[in-house]
Amino acid sequence: MLGIIDYGMGNLASVKNACDALGVKSVITSDVATLEQCQRLILPGVGAFKDSMANIHASGLYEPIQKMVKEEKKPLLGICLGMQVLFEMGYEDGLTQGFGFLKGTIQKMEGKDLRIPQIGWNQLEKSQDHLIFKNLNRPFVYYVHSYMACDVQAEDLLGYSNYGTLKVPGLVAHENVMGAQFHPEKSGKDGLEILRYFVEEFV
Protein backbone atom coordinates (compact mmCIF):
# COMPACT_ATOMS: atom_id res chain seq x y z
CA MET A 1 0.00 0.00 0.00
CA LEU A 2 1.17 3.51 -0.87
CA GLY A 3 0.13 6.34 1.44
CA ILE A 4 -0.73 9.75 -0.06
CA ILE A 5 -0.34 12.17 2.83
CA ASP A 6 -3.29 14.52 3.27
CA TYR A 7 -2.38 17.69 5.17
CA GLY A 8 -4.87 19.93 3.40
CA MET A 9 -2.62 21.22 0.60
CA GLY A 10 -2.13 18.93 -2.35
CA ASN A 11 -3.30 17.53 -5.66
CA LEU A 12 -4.55 14.46 -3.86
CA ALA A 13 -7.05 13.25 -6.46
CA SER A 14 -4.67 13.59 -9.41
CA VAL A 15 -1.92 11.71 -7.57
CA LYS A 16 -4.39 8.99 -6.62
CA ASN A 17 -5.58 8.77 -10.24
CA ALA A 18 -2.00 8.36 -11.44
CA CYS A 19 -1.47 5.55 -8.93
CA ASP A 20 -4.68 3.91 -10.12
CA ALA A 21 -3.45 4.15 -13.73
CA LEU A 22 -0.32 2.27 -12.68
CA GLY A 23 -2.35 -0.35 -10.85
CA VAL A 24 -0.83 0.74 -7.54
CA LYS A 25 -2.99 0.34 -4.45
CA SER A 26 -2.99 3.65 -2.60
CA VAL A 27 -4.85 5.53 0.10
CA ILE A 28 -5.29 9.26 0.78
CA THR A 29 -5.06 9.79 4.52
CA SER A 30 -3.91 12.00 7.36
CA ASP A 31 -4.19 9.15 9.87
CA VAL A 32 -0.78 8.29 11.29
CA ALA A 33 -1.71 4.69 12.06
CA THR A 34 -2.75 4.15 8.45
CA LEU A 35 0.41 5.78 7.13
CA GLU A 36 2.46 3.52 9.39
CA GLN A 37 0.96 0.52 7.58
CA CYS A 38 1.97 1.86 4.15
CA GLN A 39 5.19 0.68 2.56
CA ARG A 40 5.82 3.97 0.73
CA LEU A 41 4.65 7.56 1.09
CA ILE A 42 3.90 10.45 -1.26
CA LEU A 43 3.80 14.03 0.00
CA PRO A 44 1.99 16.20 -2.57
CA GLY A 45 1.70 19.95 -2.26
CA VAL A 46 0.22 23.08 -3.81
CA GLY A 47 0.55 26.51 -2.19
CA ALA A 48 3.11 28.24 0.02
CA PHE A 49 5.98 26.73 2.00
CA LYS A 50 5.09 28.46 5.28
CA ASP A 51 1.41 27.45 5.08
CA SER A 52 2.25 23.87 4.24
CA MET A 53 4.59 23.44 7.20
CA ALA A 54 1.99 25.06 9.47
CA ASN A 55 -0.61 22.57 8.24
CA ILE A 56 1.76 19.64 8.66
CA HIS A 57 2.50 20.64 12.26
CA ALA A 58 -1.18 21.38 13.01
CA SER A 59 -2.17 17.98 11.64
CA GLY A 60 0.26 16.26 14.00
CA LEU A 61 2.15 14.81 11.05
CA TYR A 62 5.59 16.39 11.39
CA GLU A 63 7.09 14.10 14.02
CA PRO A 64 5.50 10.90 12.63
CA ILE A 65 6.82 11.66 9.12
CA GLN A 66 10.27 12.39 10.55
CA LYS A 67 10.20 9.05 12.38
CA MET A 68 8.92 7.03 9.41
CA VAL A 69 11.48 8.51 7.03
CA LYS A 70 14.57 8.93 9.23
CA GLU A 71 14.23 5.98 11.61
CA GLU A 72 12.11 3.46 9.73
CA LYS A 73 13.64 4.39 6.35
CA LYS A 74 10.26 4.39 4.62
CA PRO A 75 10.63 5.66 1.02
CA LEU A 76 9.09 9.12 0.54
CA LEU A 77 8.37 11.05 -2.66
CA GLY A 78 7.69 14.78 -2.41
CA ILE A 79 5.89 16.45 -5.34
CA CYS A 80 6.11 20.19 -6.15
CA LEU A 81 5.62 21.99 -2.82
CA GLY A 82 5.92 18.53 -1.25
CA MET A 83 9.46 18.36 -2.63
CA GLN A 84 10.30 21.86 -1.39
CA VAL A 85 9.45 21.13 2.24
CA LEU A 86 11.89 18.20 2.17
CA PHE A 87 14.70 20.77 2.27
CA GLU A 88 16.10 22.59 5.29
CA MET A 89 14.53 26.03 4.94
CA GLY A 90 12.08 27.97 2.81
CA TYR A 91 11.99 31.76 2.31
CA GLU A 92 8.40 32.09 1.10
CA ASP A 93 6.44 34.49 3.37
CA GLY A 94 9.31 34.50 5.83
CA LEU A 95 11.95 31.98 6.84
CA THR A 96 10.41 28.61 7.71
CA GLN A 97 12.04 25.34 8.71
CA GLY A 98 11.35 22.32 6.50
CA PHE A 99 11.93 18.64 7.18
CA GLY A 100 15.66 18.81 6.48
CA PHE A 101 15.83 15.47 4.65
CA LEU A 102 17.72 17.25 1.85
CA LYS A 103 20.41 19.91 2.19
CA GLY A 104 19.51 23.24 0.60
CA THR A 105 16.99 26.04 0.76
CA ILE A 106 13.90 27.10 -1.18
CA GLN A 107 14.11 30.60 -2.67
CA LYS A 108 12.09 32.74 -5.06
CA MET A 109 12.88 32.32 -8.75
CA GLU A 110 14.42 35.47 -10.19
CA GLY A 111 15.85 36.29 -13.59
CA LYS A 112 15.75 38.93 -16.27
CA ASP A 113 12.73 38.66 -18.59
CA LEU A 114 11.55 35.51 -16.81
CA ARG A 115 7.85 34.87 -16.44
CA ILE A 116 7.23 33.83 -12.84
CA PRO A 117 5.70 31.44 -11.98
CA GLN A 118 7.02 28.89 -14.42
CA ILE A 119 3.89 27.21 -15.74
CA GLY A 120 4.04 24.56 -18.43
CA TRP A 121 6.16 21.85 -19.98
CA ASN A 122 9.94 21.80 -19.85
CA GLN A 123 12.61 19.27 -20.70
CA LEU A 124 14.14 17.33 -17.82
CA GLU A 125 17.88 17.03 -18.37
CA LYS A 126 20.03 14.41 -16.68
CA SER A 127 22.40 15.73 -14.04
CA GLN A 128 23.93 12.30 -13.52
CA ASP A 129 23.42 8.73 -14.66
CA HIS A 130 20.70 7.07 -12.60
CA LEU A 131 18.41 4.08 -12.96
CA ILE A 132 15.36 6.35 -13.02
CA PHE A 133 16.33 7.39 -16.56
CA LYS A 134 16.65 3.89 -18.03
CA ASN A 135 13.15 4.03 -19.58
CA LEU A 136 13.12 7.78 -20.21
CA ASN A 137 14.40 9.52 -23.32
CA ARG A 138 14.87 13.25 -22.55
CA PRO A 139 11.45 13.52 -20.88
CA PHE A 140 9.22 16.60 -20.85
CA VAL A 141 7.53 17.33 -17.54
CA TYR A 142 4.94 19.81 -16.25
CA TYR A 143 5.89 22.58 -13.81
CA VAL A 144 3.87 25.10 -11.80
CA HIS A 145 6.05 27.00 -9.31
CA SER A 146 7.50 30.36 -8.29
CA TYR A 147 10.16 29.07 -5.86
CA MET A 148 13.00 26.63 -6.45
CA ALA A 149 15.59 24.61 -4.56
CA CYS A 150 18.98 26.29 -4.18
CA ASP A 151 22.35 25.01 -2.95
CA VAL A 152 21.33 21.42 -3.67
CA GLN A 153 24.09 18.88 -3.08
CA ALA A 154 25.51 17.72 -6.42
CA GLU A 155 25.15 14.06 -5.46
CA ASP A 156 21.44 14.59 -4.70
CA LEU A 157 20.57 16.24 -8.02
CA LEU A 158 19.31 13.73 -10.59
CA GLY A 159 17.72 16.04 -13.14
CA TYR A 160 17.12 19.71 -13.88
CA SER A 161 15.34 21.99 -16.34
CA ASN A 162 16.65 25.17 -17.90
CA TYR A 163 14.30 28.12 -17.50
CA GLY A 164 15.81 31.27 -18.91
CA THR A 165 19.07 31.75 -17.05
CA LEU A 166 17.98 29.43 -14.23
CA LYS A 167 18.97 25.81 -13.76
CA VAL A 168 15.94 24.53 -11.89
CA PRO A 169 16.43 21.35 -9.82
CA GLY A 170 13.64 19.12 -11.09
CA LEU A 171 14.43 15.71 -9.64
CA VAL A 172 16.38 14.98 -6.46
CA ALA A 173 17.08 11.96 -4.29
CA HIS A 174 18.96 11.23 -1.09
CA GLU A 175 18.90 7.81 0.58
CA ASN A 176 15.19 6.91 0.89
CA VAL A 177 13.88 10.38 -0.03
CA MET A 178 13.01 11.49 -3.56
CA GLY A 179 11.57 14.79 -4.78
CA ALA A 180 10.07 16.10 -8.03
CA GLN A 181 9.61 19.86 -8.46
CA PHE A 182 7.38 19.13 -11.46
CA HIS A 183 4.11 17.20 -11.31
CA PRO A 184 4.74 13.61 -12.45
CA GLU A 185 1.00 12.91 -12.14
CA LYS A 186 0.39 15.56 -14.82
CA SER A 187 3.39 14.75 -17.02
CA GLY A 188 1.97 12.04 -19.27
CA LYS A 189 3.74 8.73 -19.82
CA ASP A 190 7.11 10.08 -18.67
CA GLY A 191 5.59 11.22 -15.40
CA LEU A 192 3.94 7.85 -14.90
CA GLU A 193 7.28 6.15 -15.53
CA ILE A 194 8.87 8.27 -12.81
CA LEU A 195 6.07 7.32 -10.41
CA ARG A 196 6.44 3.67 -11.41
CA TYR A 197 10.16 3.82 -10.65
CA PHE A 198 9.48 5.26 -7.20
CA VAL A 199 6.91 2.56 -6.43
CA GLU A 200 8.76 -0.44 -7.82
CA GLU A 201 12.49 0.27 -7.79
CA PHE A 202 13.49 3.21 -5.60
CA VAL A 203 15.74 2.24 -2.67
Residues carrying an active site annotation: 80, 183, 185
The C-alpha torsion from 160 through 162 and 165 to 166, rounded to 10°, is: -30
For the chain, counts of helices (H) and of strands (E): 6, 14
List strand residue ranges (DSSP E) for 109-195, in order.
118-123, 125-126, 140-145, 147-150, 157-163, 166-174, 177-180
Closest C-alpha among 168, 156, 79 to residue 125: 168
What CA–CA distance (Å, rounded) separates 160 from 181?
9
Closest C-alpha among 44, 151, 172, 69 to residue 104: 151
Phi-psi map region of 171: left, alpha, beta (phi>0 left; psi -120 to 50 alpha)? beta
